[in-house]
Every structure is written in structure tokens, then in C-alpha cells.
Amino acid sequence: MPEFHKYSFFNLQFSIRTCFSLLLFTILLTATETSAAQTWHTVRWVNDGDTVVLTTGLRVRYIGLNAPEIDHADQKAQPHGYRSRSFNRDLVLSRRIRLESDTERYDRYGRLLAYVFLDDGSFLNALLLQEGMAFYLYHPTNVKYDHLLMKAQQEAMELKKGLWRNWRDEAQKLIGNRHSRRFHLASCPLVAKIKSKNKVQFSSKWDAFQQGYAPSKKCIREFWSY
């Protein structure tokens, strides 16, 4: 009987130590994940309206938007491309930004996908959309601020800011995909691959953008090439 109490006490001590170790490990793991998901960094370089390079060398791509391109080796700058980059640069170059991740951390180019917050708490992703410096781009796995970002674009469209200021459009049949939130010309071969339940029709590009859809680059010219 005494032996039973001895080993029972030993087992109890072992269990307590084990539970404590597991608890400590969980706390440290959670803290590490939180730190990785929300971190402060300094911007070394601004590529364009939606991409920057940190002092660590890491490239960051803003989640939920797409800004017009600047000059590349094989492409001329798109309208508003340099204006969008200047707007972004004035806010972040050589300054601290807080990065917040979502479900998918990196894109196919190895860039960190992030929501960006300024020192004063401003949400840069939404601010760029609100000022018409980019258009809303839905991403099925990164939707933490999805509703807020789409509303920011709708506000810019209503006030005709930035990209939306001198909008010219024509009535045409466009088919959107509810799953991907991309829209296509009705004549695009990709339309045949969209399931019937996911098809939605628009009468103009403006209507498609207003509802949070973005152009499919594979079969339609991007909207700012007007």
C-alpha cells in the first residue's frame, strides 16, 4: 500500500510537469504565430501602388487590391500607374508599417501577402481603394477585411476618385464567376468552363466593378486602358 502512494505521487508530479511544459509550449507557439501575423517593419523601396520592399529584403504585396502598372521592360506604364506609386510612396517610404497576415501567407512569386497599417492606425489597403489608386481584387482564402475593402472601392467609384474619375464605358455582355469574382467578355473561351450556378451577367464593366468583380486578364483588357 505505501508503494502505491509513492508511485502515485511520482506519477502526479510527472503529469503536472508534463502539463506545465505543454502549456508553456502552447503559449510560446501562440506568441510566435501572433508575432509573425502582426509585425512592424520599415519600407526600403516602393515598387508600385501595391508592392513594397522592406529593409529586410522581403517583398510585400498588399492583399485585396490591384494597382495599375508602371513601366516594365515589355510594357508601357498604365494610366495612373505612377500616380498610384507616388501615393503609396508618400505614405510608406522609409517609414514603419505594421503587417498583418491572413490565411495564405505568400503568393506564387514569393511575396508576403499582407494588410498594411500605418503608424497612425490608418489601414493602407482600404485607403488606396478609397482614393481610387487601385481596384478591389478578391482572393478566396484571404477575406478578413473583404467587406471593408469592397466598400472602400464603392465609395471611390461613387465620388469618381482616381481611376474612376474619367471613366468611359460601353454597354456589353460580360459574364462573371461568383467563385473567383472575375468577369469576362461573353465571347471569352473561359466562360464555357464556368459552372452555371456560378455565372452572373453584367451589362458593363462599371457594374461588374461595383459588385466587387475584377477583370480576367486572360480575355479582357484591364479597365484603365480606356
Q: What is the pLDDT of residue 200?
A: 97
pLDDT attached to residue 1: 46
Q: What is the 3-state secondary structure (H, E, C) of the chain?
A: CHHHHHHHHHHHHHHHHHHHHHHHHHHHHHHHHHHHHEEEEEEEEECCCCEEEECCCCEEEECCEECCCCCECCECCCCCHHHHHHHHHHHHECCEEEEECCCCCECCCCCEEEEEEECCCCEHHHHHHHCCCCEECCCCCCCCCHHHHHHHHHHHHHCCCHHHCCCCCCCCCEEEECCCCEEEECCCHHHHHCCHHHEEEECCHHHHHHCCCEECCCCCCCCCCC
Averaged over 154-170, what is the pLDDT? 93
Residue with the bigger pLDDT between 33 and 207: it is 207
Per-residue model confidence (pLDDT) at position 141: 94
Q: Are residues 192 and 107 in the same domain?
A: no
CATH code for the domain in which residue 146 is found: 2.40.50.90
Q: Dump pLDDT digits (tens) for 134-151.
A: 999 999 999 999 999 999
**Does any domain span residue 48?**
yes
Is 4 inside a domain boundary? no
Burial of 185 (C-beta count, 10 Å sphere; 0-12/13-18/19+): middle
- Report, as residue numbers or ranges, the catalytic residues: 61, 69, 111
Overall average pLDDT of the 200-206 stretch: 95
Average confidence score pLDDT of the chain: 85
Q: Are residues 78 and 186 in the same domain?
A: no
Q: Considering its fold, how many domains does the chain have in total? A: 2
105 in Cβ contact with 112 (< 8 Å):
yes
Look at residues 124, 140, 163 and tell me which one is the last residue of a structural domain. 163
Same-domain pairing of 60 and 157: yes
Position 175 pLDDT exceeds 50: yes
CA 8, CA 12: separation in Å to the nearest integer?
Answer: 6
Lowest mean pLDDT among 42-51, 85-94, 161-170, 199-208: 161-170
Output the pLDDT for position 224.
Answer: 55
pLDDT at 36: 43
Model confidence at 172, in pLDDT bands (50, 70, 90)?
confident
The pLDDT score that the predictor gives to residue 165 is 92
Is the per-residue pLDDT at 8 higher than 90? no
Which of the two residues, 59 and 167, has the higher pLDDT score? 59
pLDDT in tens, 99-130: 999 999 999 999 999 999 999 999 999 999 99
Task: For residue range 60-97, list pLDDT tens digits in order.
Answer: 999 999 999 888 777 787 778 899 999 999 999 999 99
**Containing domain of residue 69, as a range?**
36-163
Interval 147-175 mean pLDDT: 94
Q: Are residues 116 and 187 in the same domain?
A: no
What pLDDT score does 101 carry? 95
Q: Are residues 99 and 156 in the same domain?
A: yes
Q: What is the mean pLDDT of residues 159-184?
A: 92
Grid cell, residue 214, equals 475584377
Task: Give the tens place of pLDDT for each residue, 33-57.
Answer: 444 457 899 999 999 999 999 999 9
